[in-house]
Amino acid sequence: DNPMASPAAHTTYVVTGTDNNGCSDTASVNVIVNPLPTIIASASPDSICIGDTASLLASGADSYTWTPAADLSCSNCPDPKAFPLSTTTYIVTGTDAKGCEDTAHVVLEVLPLPVLAAQDEEVCIGDSVQLGVTGAVSYQWSPATGLSCTNCDNPMASPAVTTTYTVTGTSATGCADTIQVTVTVHPLPVISAGQDQEICLGDSVQLQASGASSYSWTPAAGLACTNCDNPMASPAAHTTYVVTGT
């Protein structure tokens, strides 16, 4: 008396009922089959870098439900913002005014960021050091102060003061990330070679350098040592000694 009907098109069903006396009569019922909504889903853009956002859009119905709902700005709207951390297939179910529903799906590809590697450097003021970064296909350094180039992977750096450089690396897929490189600039030591000295021919005098950790004297002639801070000097003629302190 209560069959399930699932016609593919509008159908009129006629039922004949017979009682215990053998008497019968008929009745009819119309089953109207409404078409399913045609759901269209898209993503703009259809690929993003990790950390970026894409716009999803569904059309063809009156209300919508998106799954998975995580990483969506809304799950019951036609145009949510999506910010997944990995490639995700979103399914949207659209329902029309008659309660009929259908689904569509859209794939949002998530591209990885480049993995940048670089190391900090140290330099004496006035000197240069070569920086280096790997992990991308193009680079941009800032600030430009003290750099031989700003769009290469290995600029020479000669900053006047300690400087932290930020380098942005971009992969072949257009995804970018940043890393920082600090160049520590050390001041030069303040070296003293002591006062000028006078001696008689054949005598000796002790020189005294200060201001550094190690020393090198030139010329070596007449000196008891050249890599100490206080060599005994006994030159045979007037001599100007130069000491380099490190």
Q: What is the pLDDT of residues 99-112, one digit of tens each?
A: 999 999 999 999 99
Query: CB count, 10 Å around CB of 72?
Result: 19
* CA dihedral (209, 212, 218, 223) positive or negative: positive
Tell me, rounded to whole angstroms, the distance of Cα 195 from its chain centroid. 58
What distances in angstroms separate CA 66 from CA 45, 78, 79, 85, 118, one per listed residue? 18, 9, 10, 17, 42
Average pLDDT, the chain: 94
User: CA–CA separation, 75 vs 88, rounded Å?
Assistant: 15
Q: Does residue 68 have a cis peptide bond before it, meaning omega lies within 30 degrees of 0?
A: yes
What distances in angstroms separate CA 118 from CA 146, 163, 166, 177, 183, one per listed residue? 18, 15, 11, 13, 12
Asked whether the beta carbons of 13 and 28 are under 8 A apart, the reply is yes
Question: Which run of H or E residues covers position 12?
Answer: strand 11-18
Asked whether the beta carbons of 47 and 110 are under 8 A apart, the reply is yes
Asked whether the beta carbons of 187 and 125 are under 8 A apart, the reply is yes
Q: pTM for the complete prediction?
A: 0.75
Q: What is the pLDDT of residue 85?
A: 96
Which residues of the chain are under the pLDDT cut of 50?
none
What is the DSSP pairing of strand 121-124 with strand 176-186?
A: parallel
Q: What is the pLDDT of residue 30?
A: 79
What is the DSSP pairing of strand 24-31 with strand 47-49?
A: unpaired
What distances in angstroms separate CA 236 from CA 26, 207, 233, one per listed residue? 142, 16, 10
Query: CB count, 10 Å around CB of 110?
Result: 20
Residues 210-246 as b or e (16 or more Cβ within 10 Å = b):
eebeebebeeeeebeeeeebebebebeeeeebebebe
Strand 101-111: give its sheet, edge to edge. 47-49, 101-111, 88-95, 63-67
Tell me, rounded to whole angstroms, the distance of Cα 85 from its chain centroid. 13
Residue-wise pLDDT tens digits, 132-171: 999 999 999 999 999 999 999 999 999 999 999 999 999 9
Asked whether the beta carbons of 54 and 106 are under 8 A apart, the reply is no
Q: What is the pLDDT of residue 17?
A: 81
